[in-house]
Chains A and B, each alone.
Chain A
Amino acid sequence: MSTRLPDHGRLIDRSRQVKFTFNGKWMRGHPGDTLASALLANGQMLVGRSFKYHRPRGIVASGGEEPNALVNLGRGARHEPNQRATTTELFDRLEARSQNHWPTLEFDVGAVNAMVARFLPAGFYYKTFIHPRAFWKHVFEPIIRKSAGLGAAPDPETMDADRYEHFYAHVDLVVAGGGVAGLLAALEAGRAGKRVLLVEQNAHWGGRAPVDGDLIDGAPAEIWVKNTVEELEKMENVTLRTRTMLAGVYDHGYVTAYERVADHTPGEDAPRHRLWRIRTAQVISATGAIERPLSFPGNDKPGVMLASAVRDYIVNYGVAPGDTLVVVTNNDDGYRTALAAHRAGLKVACVVDPRAEADGDLPHEVRSLGIRVMAGSAISKVKGLKKVVSVRVQAHRGYDGGHDEIPCDAVAMSGGWSPVVHLWSHCGGKLTWDEDQACFRPDHDRPPTDQNGAGFVTCVGAADGALHGDVTMAATATAMADMLGNDVSAPRVDLAREAPLAPIWIMPEAAGAKKRAKMWLDFQNDVKVSDVMLAAQEGYESVEHTKRYTTLGMATDQGKLSNINGLAVLAEALDKGIPQVGTTTFRPPYTPISMGAIAGEARGEVFQPLRRTPIHDWHEAQGAYMEPVGGWRRPYCFPRDGESHEDAVNREIDATRRSLGLLDASTLGKILVKGPDAGRFMDMLYTNMMSNLKPGKCRYGLMCSENGFLMDDGVVVRLDEDTFLAHTTSGGADHVHAHMEDWLQCEWWDWKVHTVNVTEQWAQIAVVGPNTRKVLEKLGADFDLSAEALPFMAMAEGKIGGFDTRVFRISFSGELSYEIAVPASQGRAFWAALHEAGAEWNATAYGTEALHVMRAEKGFIMIGDETDGTIIPQDLGLTWAISKKKEDFLGKRGQERVHMTDPDRWKLVGLETLDGSVLPDGCYCIASGKNANGQANVQGRITSTYYSPTLSRGIAMGLVQNGPDRMGEVVAFNKVDGSTVNARIVSPVFYDPDGEKQNV
């Protein structure tokens, strides 16, 4: 059983205790522990069940590569599934629960899957669940969803209690990894005056060197690490960050790093995670290497761990994974674990080494301690269910029937090391196969390239394939010297001489099908050697296809332990070389990062910018029902106590048509266009003539894209000879301004025109209804507001009630209407003044729905209702607004195309249901016959439909084939319930067709 050792543990503080729970059971650890080391210290070897077969699983690794020890962490608003125990720092009252078992971790019904494992091979789902079709949704999927899975999804009713943020940094150099190579790289870059950011994913500096006992400049690595960090901390041009993982490398030197600011101090008032968004000239990847498991039967049982992890737990945390250890290794480095275990007082039963000879310095040292070294042998079986009881050892090659049964409760395995080449690969750096070390390493001739075509990622240390400390330091020094153009001297590293490893991908060599079905490659996704071989047999030659067929490397660990082993097995099965098979694609992030970190600050109130008019607060205070319009929130209606939205809209319309309505129209786009060529420019932008508009006058205009489609509309005002004010739709202001600048800057760059978007400078209020002039006269104007002095479609400037105003006699409602703009700083006060003065005429604020209904009663089109990007003005009967005199305007040529001039285009008409009901929005006008798909043919559709309180009936506008020629005809529209409703084609102007009311 795993246990806490009386000594060792360089990272823990034994003077203090930390209490935590696992599956509700209280346990104790020390500050400095990870959840994984603390679980092992409490004898908890079994930590979860596997994804597919529900096999008992224990901790395998000691870092971010861990595939098994995933837990549900925390509860309620802080519950998060799939958290790796190996990278979770222990804190007081931590709550962890194991995943993917039912009913309990110890007794799991799903484990029956394991007994039928031979019926669940790779591709099982594809082969089995295709037919019958309906079964998938109702039978297979619910069962599979229940049995396969990871952690519990967070409760949808809770909100993440923490906050997150981004941080932007611009540096010369980012160094990823704070092991000895990364520290040396940062030190040299720092000394050379570069702006350096050094990030380390763990809470400690130094990486593996202090654990593995390397001597640097004659002293333990820890001393060199401490001195180097101290020197770096003193440099103002160097920023050091622990608990920060370089997550991704992207084009143009864009790099993201994931800082876990407060994961280890939950509840503290701090951002939990911070996503660093970095621009850097160079990336130094000092990300080290990951040890590979060995594929032998039963290699997934709790108690079988990576040899390096066993060393980490002993040296860093003072935790022994068992009392009696067997080491199985195809390389000399694995012997370091036997030595570390021996030094910690554990029994090392033997070292199993498939190489015919083991005579490097380390095997010699192990032998000299009296530990049995079994060269040329392999593990052929691991006995025990939820823990290891013994291993069976036989000849790796040429099985003669003989074997040893060796009792033990922990197995340390080492299949060699794979450099972490992820950051090299994210932007397309290529790899080369290193035969001697049996690993992929960066191909220096094919680096990821920046915008100048030069490499911008440099791997140093183990990440570059320099797997031994002496080579690491020397090669890092050379790489930095090349980069910085300096002389760099490498620290001297003393270590044992190592013999070459043997590239052994399965053991024993001649294992049969039954044994291969017990050799795990991907622990998290339950992919075995037999699955990959089956894929090869079934014709999956590409590693990318095999990955998807078997799910190898597709789990949350993204195959950090399994990829190389898997593709080596595939290569063997295909009888190809490993480099010919190649790797799957390394994609960011390196390990999973939180959704919160990606979202950053964008949640709650600041999820999205919400644009507010100067009168917004008043609307909210009135309890207005708001709707989004082009980034703004506008009042849809102002319901009073107990009033439905429909009732409110009807009341607002009634009040406006009978007496006085007030609309906050501040969101309307307002763009100034000025210059000697402004008239010419406006003539090009609008379909109608603008250059002949007289100063002080307004004209409604249509704006089309160059393809002829209607894009925006609004009233253009000529302020003076050189200056136009173009009103746009609320949602269109920014786009129209960009459209103008596009044409000015790219096509008509020699025209003397300037534009400025002044939308927000003005609060604009539409004062509407028969009593409009009375309320304005009551407020008192210093200019003549009469119909004679200021007729319909004219504008004037002056003071009203002491406010600085611009008044436009324009009407979107059909009533007498003055749209009045005041500087935004006066908007709120002017709104209040209008309400106060208008009280005697029942001044009523109205919202966008009343606006919509009133414009529909008048047959005015609305961009986005009557138009959808495929509509030209001619479709809407707006030919009167298309100049025939102008030589050109944007959209003119487009509107002459054959399809645009087709007489069968659907055209705008009004529609009245025979029964007075309101037509459903978006419904279709039915034609006779069916189309090729058996659907009813259609001859038109509804674009706007409302209940008109003015006419006490439903009214609608729609596009109908040859509609304007079919006045009075009755056509049918479909309804959601399958029935139809009859409507008569009428003029779209339902109210005051002669425009007498707006013109008084």
Chain B
Amino acid sequence: MSELASALPGAKYEGVVRVVETGLRGMITLKADLPQSAKAVKAVTGQVVPKARRIDAGDMSVAWMAPDELLILCDHGRADHVVRDLAEQLGTTHHLAVNVSDARAMFTLTGAGVKDVLGKLTPADLAALPPGEMRRTRLAQVAAAIWFSDAQTAHVICFRSVAQYVFDLLALAARPGGDVGYH
């Protein structure tokens, strides 16, 4: 078994910004009492539990998704190990850790116009979204999580089944001639 496929391998678009499908990424959903799980999260990921809405980048990135939910990002091949390590660390503490890497697709947007492009699709207030804060929102008609790692780089996570829809949306929003010049 060798051929692992992300949702849209190699998909990219060059327009007002550059849109690239980021390929397979390890993702683990952890549902648990977060203060109770802080030690285990630190031991497995090297990260402290992020503050509300933050995504802390590192060897493994950890994102706050809800008061009882984290998303851990890692190499695709490590996801199952992370689940096992969390189970070991958390022991009998009530939790649910599960590999959701393949349930998702990821895109990276780069360019000066990233906020103007995303602003066509999400009702979130992008001016109030500093780098390192993740926003769970929608892109047109589907759920998505977005965050900026710097002023010109945005990341998008959506469900795998709608990867083509989201890519088409992002490419359309980034089509030349559609610059908004707002942000």
Q: List residues of A whose CB falls within 8 A of some B CB.
A: 163, 165-170, 195, 239, 262, 268-271, 274, 277, 279, 600-602, 605-606, 608-614, 632, 672, 674-676, 723, 752, 754-756, 758-762, 799, 801-804, 823-829
Contacts and interface: CB of A to CB of B under 8 A. Distances in A.
A756 B31 contact: yes
Contacts of B29: 756
Contact of B172 (A163, A269, A610): A163
Contact of A606 (B123, B124, B140): B140
Nearest to A832: B3
Contact of B1 (A168, A754, A756, A802): A802
Contact of A754 (B32, B122, B182): B32
Given A165-B173, A168-B122, A606-B168, A672 B102 contact: no
15 contacts: A163-B172, A163-B175, A167-B116, A168-B120, A168-B124, A601-B140, A609-B141, A611-B161, A613-B161, A723-B96, A756-B31, A756-B100, A759-B103, A760-B160, A825-B102
Nearest to A254: B123
Given A165-B173, A609-B141, A611-B162, A754 B31 contact: yes
Given A609-B142, A760-B103, A826-B1, A674 B119 contact: no
Contacts of A601: 120-121, 140, 169, 172-173
The 8 closest A-B pairs by CB, nearest first: A802-B1, A824-B102, A270-B177, A754-B96, A611-B161, A760-B103, A170-B125, A754-B31
B175 A269 contact: yes
A126 B163 CA distance: 55
B141 A761 contact: no
B102 A602 contact: no
Contacts of A610: 162, 164-165
Contact of A170 (B1, B127, B176): B127
- Among A614, A674, A823, the most chain B Cβ lie within 10 Å of the Cβ of A823
Nearest to B100: A761
B22 interface: no
B141 A269 contact: no
Interface in B116-173: 116, 119-128, 140-142, 159-165, 168-169, 172-173
Given A609-B165, A801-B1, A803-B1, A758 B142 contact: no
Nearest to B160: A760
A682 to B, nearest CB: 14
B81 interface: no
A612 B161 contact: yes
A761 B102 contact: yes
Contacts, number: 145
B6 interface: yes
Contacts of A672: 96, 98
A600 B139 CA distance: 13
A825 B141 contact: no
B32 A167 contact: no
Contacts of B122: 168
Nearest to B128: A170
Contacts of A759: 103
Contacts of B104: 760
- Among B3, B29, B141, B161, the most chain A Cβ lie within 10 Å of the Cβ of B161
Contact of A760 (B102, B142, B165): B102
B96 A829 contact: no
A166 B120 contact: yes
B6 A825 contact: yes
Interface string B28-56: 01011000000000000000000000000
- Among B104, B142, B173, B176, the most chain A Cβ lie within 10 Å of the Cβ of B173
A801 B122 CA distance: 43
Contacts of A802: 1-2
A752 B24 CA distance: 32
A270 B179 CA distance: 9
Interface in B44-103: 68, 76, 94-96, 98-103
A824 B7 CA distance: 9
A752 B68 CA distance: 12
Contact of A239 (B175, B176, B182): B182
Contact of A758 (B3, B100, B123): B100
A163 B171 CA distance: 13
Given A674-B95, A752-B94, A824-B102, 20 more contacts: A270-B178, A601-B172, A601-B173, A602-B141, A605-B168, A610-B162, A612-B162, A672-B96, A723-B96, A754-B68, A754-B96, A756-B100, A760-B159, A761-B101, A762-B102, A803-B1, A824-B160, A825-B4, A827-B5, A829-B3
A413 B119 CA distance: 46
A165 B100 contact: no
A568 to B, nearest CB: 43
A246 to B, nearest CB: 16
B102 A609 contact: no
Nearest to A804: B1
A671 B31 CA distance: 14
A828 B3 contact: yes
Contacts of B99: 761, 823
Nearest to A759: B103
A679 to B, nearest CB: 14
B11 interface: no
Contacts of A609: 140-142, 162, 165
A799 B162 CA distance: 28
B180 interface: yes
Contacts of B123: 168, 277
Nearest to A632: B161
Given A168-B119, A672-B96, A269 B177 contact: yes
A610 B164 CA distance: 8
A274 B180 contact: yes
A768 B121 CA distance: 43
B3 A269 contact: no
A271 B100 CA distance: 37
B142 A167 contact: no
A860 to B, nearest CB: 26
Contacts of B4: 825-826, 829
A803 B96 CA distance: 24
A825 B98 contact: no
Interface in B12-32: 24, 29, 31-32
A287 to B, nearest CB: 22
Given A165-B173, A168-B122, A268-B177, A825 B24 contact: yes
Given A614-B5, A752-B94, A756-B98, A271 B162 contact: no
B104 to A, nearest CB: 8
Contact of A167 (B96, B98, B120): B120
Nearest to B125: A170
Contacts of A279: 125
B72 to A, nearest CB: 13
A683 to B, nearest CB: 18
Contacts of B178: 163, 165, 270-271
B162 A829 contact: no
Nearest to B32: A754
A754 B70 CA distance: 13
Contacts of A675: 94, 96
Contact of B182 (A169, A758, A801, A823): A169
Contacts of A827: 5
A814 B99 CA distance: 32
B13 to A, nearest CB: 13
A610 B68 CA distance: 30
A522 to B, nearest CB: 38
Contacts of B182: 167, 169, 239
A824 B103 CA distance: 7
Contacts of A824: 102-103, 160
B135 to A, nearest CB: 12
Nearest to B79: A823
